[in-house]
Amino acid sequence: MSASVTISGIAKSYQKGVPVLLPLDLEIQKGELFFLLGPSGCGKSTLLRIIAGIVEPDSGSIFFDGRDITALPPEKRQTAMVFQNYALWPHLSVFENVAFGLRAAGASGKTIARKVAESLALVRMSDFAERKVPSLSGGQQQRVALARAIAVDPQVLLLDEPLSNLDAKLRDEMRCEIARICRERSLTAIYVTHDRREALSMGDRIALLDRGKIQQTGSPVELYKKPRSRFAASFLGDVNLLDAVAEGCENALLRIRTEIGTLFSVHTENANPPSVLIRPENIRVSTAPSEQNCFCAEYLTGTFLGERCELRFRTESGRILDVNEDSSELREAGKKYFLSVLPQNVVPLED
Ligand code: ADP
Ligand code: MG
């Protein structure tokens, strides 16, 4: 039942002259868990609502399995939506909540019983069928909302920040659950979030949005390791961004002059990057120099965070660098160290 989704030239502004989505294109595969990731207000929910048919686009078309559904009303699109605030009926039992869409579609009592049982089993809520919604925890309510969405066999499952109301531990647990359910059912799912950890840990692919424009699309690893822009680099993780001037290739490495000295990068596609990214966890701290991409720096301060330490150094050129280490001891303030970074971890950016 899952469909592929093609978005072609979709644009939207609610007010004249204030575009919320610039014309954008996306291809989402059948069975893919696809993320729309971006800061608050960038247009994620608008795009999701356009796919659901709740909001009308100004231009462009949407196809499910190659069929143009742009003119179809929401109820004919066979999508199902899961929201941050669950949107369950408080006076109905869990069973009746999950049955709601099936009843509305005129399914038989037998079909309803079977589909509800299947969906509740999938979200591991079978024992709660007769419970009323207010007696459930937030995490359980979100499982019920998910079961309700899945029960109607949607062509596309749409999730809008579904975990934002849950506390951190439950959120981690539900991430795994939602990813498991989507994969077990081969659901085409479009998942909206501003939380990079959700997108990185769950997604097959991610489209990164900013101000109504897709900045970059790729797998979580691609986006994290090879962001194209400063925005993508910063949105997906911790960064050191250095101004750069390329000085040509040497032994198949790009030689780049930066604020902290000359660096070599294996990434030679962009011959003239104006800046480079070094992620804090890719800087190694040593008391002995190494041959390449090594510079001297003074340790300033650090924070112990349990699983890692966040350290701050000042290079001889005066530039502050953030370094994340998984060691448990903080360094010695005022002491000089050698910092180094492998050429594959010097990532040229486009801006
Ligand atoms: P996101 O989900 O990424 O936070 P939204 O799609 O909700 O972003 O909103 C994008 C922009 O459109 C915001 O500036 C928001 O204020 C505006 N917007 C959203 N819905 C409406 C609406 N119904 N009427 C007018 N402006 C809206
Ligand atoms: Mg939103």
If you measure from the C-alpha of residue 86 to the centroid of ligand 1, how many angstroms do you get, rounded to a whole number? 20
**Nearest ligand 1 atom to alpha carbon 21:** 10
Phi, psi of 13 (to 5 degrees): -135, 135
Report how far residue 176's alpha carbon sits from residue 144's, in angstroms, rounded to the nearest whole number: 16
User: Closest ligand to 50 CA?
Assistant: 1
CB 315 within 8 A of CB 321: yes
**Alpha-carbon dihedral angle through residues 148, 103, 93, 83, given to the nearest 10 degrees:** 30
If you measure from the C-alpha of residue 43 to the centroid of ligand 1, how many angstroms do you get, rounded to a whole number? 6
If you measure from the C-alpha of residue 288 to the centroid of ligand 1, how many angstroms do you get, rounded to a whole number? 53
Q: In what order do the strands lie in the sheet with 261-265?
A: 261-265, 253-258, 240-250, 275-278, 347-349
Q: Closest Cα partner for 129 from 116, 110, 139, 112? A: 116
Q: Which of 10, 46, 193, 215 to mutate to test the pocket of ligand 1 (most atoms within 8 A of CB)?
A: 46
Q: Closest Cα partner for 79 from 108, 118, 51, 56? A: 51
- Supply the Cα-derived Rg of the chain in whole angstroms: 24
Q: Which CATH class is domain 238-349?
A: mainly beta
Second CATH level (architecture) for the domain 5-232: 3-Layer(aba) Sandwich (3.40)
If you measure from the C-alpha of residue 148 to the centroid of ligand 1, how many angstroms do you get, rounded to a whole number? 26
Intervals of CATH 3.40.50.300 along the chain: 5-232
Which residues lie near ion ligand 2 (Cβ < 5 Å)?
45
pLDDT for res 217: 98
| Ligand 1 neighbours by CB, cut-off 6 Å | 14, 20, 38, 40-46
10-residue mean pLDDT series, the chain (351 residues):
96 96 98 98 98 98 98 95 90 96 93 97 95 93 95 97 91 93 96 97 98 98 98 98 96 96 96 97 94 95 90 96 86 93 98 96
For 343, counting Cβ atoms within 10 Å of its Cβ (0-12 exposed, 13-18 middle, 19+ buried), the class is: middle
Phi, psi of 259 (to 5 degrees): -60, -25
pLDDT for res 332: 86
Residues in the chain: 351
pLDDT for res 329: 72
> Atom 11 in ligand 1: which residue has the minimum CA distance?
41
> Atom 23 in ligand 1: which residue has the minimum CA distance?
14
Intervals of CATH 2.40.50.140 along the chain: 238-349
DSSP 133: G
DSSP 185: T
Query: pTM here?
Result: 0.95
**Nearest ligand 1 atom to alpha carbon 38:** 3
State which amino acid sits at residue 308. R
